[in-house]
Amino acid sequence: MMDRKIKGVSLVWALVLALMGCSSEKVEVLDIGVAEHTLVMYLNANNNLSGHILNNAYDAEKGAMGLLPSTKLVIYLDKSDGTSSLYEVKYLQYGAANYIKHTTLLKEYPEQVSTSALVMRGVFEDVKHLVPSKSYGLVLAGHGSGWFPEPDSGISYDNQRSAGSEGVWAQMSPNALSGTVADEYDFGFLTAENPLTRAMGYDGPLGTKDPEHYISTSELILGMSHMKFDYIIFDACFMASVEFLYELRNVTDYVIASPVEVMGPGLPYKDLMPLLMAPEHNLEAVCEKIMEVYRNDRQFSAYASSAISLIDCSKLEALAESVAAVWQQVVGTDGPKNQEDVVKFVADGVDETKIQVLDRMQPSGFYDLRDYVEQLAVIGGAGVDLSDFYVALEDVLVYADHTEEIQSNGGNYGWGAIPVKAGGEELDLCGLSCYLPRTTAPITASWYFKTPWARSVYGL
């Protein structure tokens, strides 16, 4: 993937002469100084997605051919052998329509955990210093599960999947958090008979449960805090979680993410690069291309399973306010005043079967936000006004689409399509997920109410 032997223009020129039979045509190298736009790909391949992510990097490199010289592609790649490096990819033109790929190694790093906030911040500082640009976009690929905390809390989404109908580790013996007892459980990592999906998180050998190998939402934000990105693309499962996005609202302008699981092949970077690398970077066209490939190209993915959303982060505050207003209409001034009462109120009043689930766990970890708010309104009766919520939801979601079926690994419940909600004729996803706190998972609920979204919506 990376040709580290070609480190200078002189060597590229020598290669061109050899390929062209010592033609007199010259390689034109453009020194553009500060780029108009730079796409940064932060790829964590030190896990069971290694093969897919290496393919992603290769496809991105191929897709960069013939792009404008005012844009740059920079890739940070943490490989499964423990090595990581930062490199730039561009193509040098030699003739009317021919190009030679030129890879510049910008920096090699000692073995490090790429899901560390300090490591991430250091890489982005290197990008700013080594590749100055007027604007930046970011792709984060690897293993995060929406708002769920890292595994040392005992309630990561992988923990929930492995626990099956028991819900989360919070309902198991406290000793289940120890390495010896926990080893008895299938941690929820997908096995060979199931297609790999992406969920944002671990850096390390398959089966590693070291908390240092995961990154929380707050740490992720800290890692990006000194870098301004026009947009962030999460090539990972469940990152269109409204709780996660709300916390990210001041870090970037736009986010492309999925409210469901992302198939192992990830995003079709070869097709996306011309759209992402254009100075205007048409993000709606990026989403449309992703859906087009997943619907029609069985060579790219064996499963026509994808859901993609484009989120305007500047509108997330208004969305939270609209959901909080619905909650206040439903519960009134004498409503629940603490998290235990909120959980009981939701459990007693909301019909979960009429809310579209976005995964196949029992209980589910991700639900459709629009369905949930509409079910809250049912509790409050005909007088509840949802008009502001619908406007706010439409403003946040610049784009949202999904395939007819969505595949999901359900841990102990196996692999298959997520079921359609009760009374529904087909899948109808709004594009954002949310969590439903429940009485059977009190520790998970206590973590949930620490999120800024939950505190804002429920007034706690």
Respond yes or no on whether the N-terminal peptide bond of residue 363 is cis (omega within 30° of 0). Answer: yes
With helix as H, strand as E and coil as C, how does the chain read?
Answer: CCCCCCCCHHHHHHHHHHHCCCCCCCCECCCCCCECEEEEEEEECCCCCHHHHHHHHHHHHHHCCCCCCCEEEEEEEECCCCCEEEEEEEEEECCCCCEEEEEEEEEEECCCCCCCHHHHHHHHHHHHHHCCECCEEEEEECCCCCCCCCHHHCCCHHHHHHHHHHCCHHHCCHHHHCHHHHCCCCCCCCCCCCCCEECCCCCCCCCCCCHHHCCCHHHHHHHHCCCCEEEEEEECCCCCEHHHHHHCCCCEEEEEECCCCEECCCCCHHHHHHHHCCCCCCHHHHHHHHHHHHHHCCCCCCCCCCEEEEEEHHHHHHHHHHHHHHHHHHHCCCCCCCHHHHHHHHHHHCCHHHCCECCCCCCCCCEEHHHHHHHHHHHHCCCCCCHHHHHHHHHHEEEEEECCCCEEECHHHCEEECCCCCCCCCCCCCCCEECCCCCCCHHHHHHHCCCHHHHHHHCC
Query: 83, exposed or middle or buried, with CB in 10 Å at 0-12, 13-18, 19+?
Result: middle
CA 337 to CA 111: how far, in whole Å?
A: 48
Q: Is the pLDDT of residue 261 over 80?
A: yes
Query: 85, exposed or middle or buried, with CB in 10 Å at 0-12, 13-18, 19+?
Result: middle
Q: Is the pLDDT of residue 399 over 60?
A: yes
> Which position has the higher pLDDT, 438 or 290?
290
Query: Which neighbouring-strand residues pair with 54?
Result: none
Which DSSP helix (H) or strand (E) runs through 454? helix 452-458
DSSP SS3 for 406:
coil
- What would the pLDDT profile of 202-252 be if each residue is shown by its tens digit? 666 544 445 447 677 888 888 988 888 999 999 988 999 999 999 999 999
Distance of CA 69 to the CA centre of its chain: 28
Q: Are strands 71-78 and 37-44 parallel, antiparallel or unpaired?
A: parallel
Question: Could you tell me the two tokens for 286?
Answer: 């990026």
Please state, for a pLDDT cut of 70, what percent of the chain lies above it: 77
Query: Which neighbouring-strand residues pair with 119?
Result: none
List phi, psi (to 5°) of 307: -140, 130
CA 234 to CA 429: how far, in whole Å?
A: 18
Q: Residue 219's pLDDT is what?
A: 83
Query: Which neighbouring-strand residues pair with 401?
Result: 308
Q: Residue 197's pLDDT is what?
A: 47
Q: Is the pLDDT of residue 260 over 50?
A: yes
Give CA angle at 121 (118, 125), nearest 5°.
135
Are 148 and 155 a contacting pair, CB within 8 Å? yes
pLDDT band at residue 101 using 50, 70 and 90 as cut-offs: confident
Are 130 and 86 a contacting pair, CB within 8 Å? yes
Q: What is the mean pLDDT of the chain?
A: 80
CA 438 to CA 442: how far, in whole Å?
A: 7
Are 363 and 440 a contacting pair, CB within 8 Å? yes
Question: Could you tell me the two tokens for 452?
Answer: 């800024």
Q: Is the pLDDT of residue 173 over 70?
A: no
Contact residues for 298 (Cβ-Cβ < 8 A; gap 6+): 304
Q: What pTM value is reported for the model? A: 0.83
CA 121 to CA 223: how far, in whole Å?
A: 4
Q: Which of 37-46, 155-164, 431-440, 448-457 has the lowest mean pLDDT?
A: 155-164
Are 369 and 357 a contacting pair, CB within 8 Å? no
Q: Residue 129's pLDDT is what?
A: 94
pLDDT, average across residues 178-187: 28
Q: Would you give the end-to-end CA distance of the chain in angstroms?
A: 50
Q: Residue 199's pLDDT is what?
A: 40
CA 156 to CA 444: how far, in whole Å?
A: 9
Q: Is the dihedral of CA 132, 60, 99, 1 positive or negative?
A: positive
pLDDT, average across residues 360-379: 92
Which DSSP helix (H) or strand (E) runs through 262? strand 262-263
Are 303 and 263 a contacting pair, CB within 8 Å? yes
Question: Could you tell me the two tokens for 332?
Answer: 């009134």
With residues binned 3-state (H G I as helix, E B as strand, rest as coil), the percentages for the chain, rounded to 5, are 40, 20, 45
> Which position has the higher pLDDT, 370 or 5?
370
Complete domains list, the chain, with CATH:
9-142+213-235+267-300 (3.40.50.11970), 318-396+431-458 (no CATH)
